Structure 1
Amino acid sequence: MRKDIENKLIDKNTKPTSMRILVYDFLSSQEAALSLSEIENYFESADRTTIYRTLKTFEEKGIVHSIQENTTTKYKLCHDGCNENTHKDWHLHFYCKICKQTTCKEDISFPENLQTNFRIDEIRLFAKGICEGCMESLQ
């Protein structure tokens, strides 16, 4: 597993440091997007600045995409198609008002093959409501 992560980071022109490998591994096991504080809580002994720099590097290299949620930024791993120039996370980011989780709804997306005379590098689609799991518990 560690070697796979190292290779993914190298493929994205990112040096595979121990912290980067740990953060990548942690994010890959998460269904929902996470804030810096949530990630920091998982790595109790790690320096907040190091985690923040790791996330910013990952964002610059197309490894994670950030989701702005009110005043909080959350992070989720990108698909392999993202890179330093273009993030292809053209899908809905959904925030559940009950469980407070932000998830990617990839079945609701903006078409990537639009015929335009301009270049779109990033689209941010964000919705708030009640997720499937919380809807079931309400019924």
Structure 2
Amino acid sequence: MKHIEEELRAKDIKPTAMRILVLKFLKGQEGAVSLADIENSFDQSDRVTIYRTVKTFESKGLLHSITANNVTRYALCSPNCSADNHRDTHLHFICKQCKKTICLTQVAIPTIEIPAGFELSEIEVVAQGICEQCKA
């Protein structure tokens, strides 16, 4: 638990009880999870508090979001992400069968040339198919 508190402080996040619980939950996940998944993991939780916790984590570079099929899921960022610079530009794989979203960090997104005068704020690339577990 001390390690989780230190990790939150390193991202300039005050380690409240709910923030510690949410981060502990996220660290135990294999892939990205939705807000509903987080809410459902706690017997008694305030939806607004969990939402604010997730948004705080995202704004401080602890989480990144993946939106596909009108569902937003969240995954932990790589350690070198910061509030100013998310460095999680990688492929996300969504299994059509089990609906799990997996960060494929080994597959980097190529540099995208955009026209002069445009300002790029984020890139999202999603691949869909059947995951290894469902295929077996």
Deviations 1:50-98 (A, max 9, x none): 0000000000000000110221110111111111111111111110001
The percent of aligned pairs where both chains have the same amino acid is 51
Q: Does 1:101 align with 2:104?
A: no
Which SS does the other structure have where 1:100 is aligned? coil
> 2:125 matched to which residue of 1?
125
Cα distance between partner residues in 2 of 1:20 and 1:7 = 12
Question: Counterpart in 1 of 2:59?
Answer: 60
Q: Is the 8 A contact 1:12 1:63 kept in 2?
A: yes
Tell me if the contact between 1:9 and 1:15 (Cα under 8 Å) persists in the aligned partners: yes
* Partner amino acid, structure 2, of 1:124: E
- 2 CA distance for matches of 1:16 and 1:120? 32
Residue 134 of structure 1: how far off its partner (Å) = 1.8
Partner of 2:27: 28
What is the TM-score normalised by the length of structure 2?
0.89
Residue in 1 that maps onto 2:37: 38
Q: Give the CA RMSD over aligned residues.
A: 2.0
Moved more, 64-73 or 50-59: 64-73
Q: Quick one: which amino acid aligns to residue 132 of structure 1?
A: E
Deviation at 1:123, TM superposition (A): 2.5
TM-score after normalising by structure 1 = 0.87
- Aligned amino acid, residue 29 of structure 1: G
Q: CA deviation at 1:130?
A: 1.0
Distance 2:86 2:119 in 1: 12
Counting matched residue pairs gives 134
Structure 2 gaps of 5+ residues are: none
Task: Give me the whole-angstrom Cα distance separating, in 2, the residues matched to 1:55 and 1:128.
Answer: 25
Q: Distance in 1 between matches of 2:61 and 2:124?
A: 15
| Structure 1 gap ranges (5+) | none
| Per-residue deviation, 1:115 | 9.6
1:126 partner amino acid: V
| Deviation of the 1:125 alpha carbon | 1.4
Q: Please say if 1:82 is aligned against 2:72.
A: no
Taking the aligned partners of 1:103 and 1:57, their CA distance within structure 2 comes to: 22
After TM superposition, give the deviation of residue 133 of structure 1 in Å. Answer: 1.8
Q: Provide the C-alpha distance between the structure 2 equivalents of 1:44 and 1:68, rounded to a whole number of angstroms.
A: 26
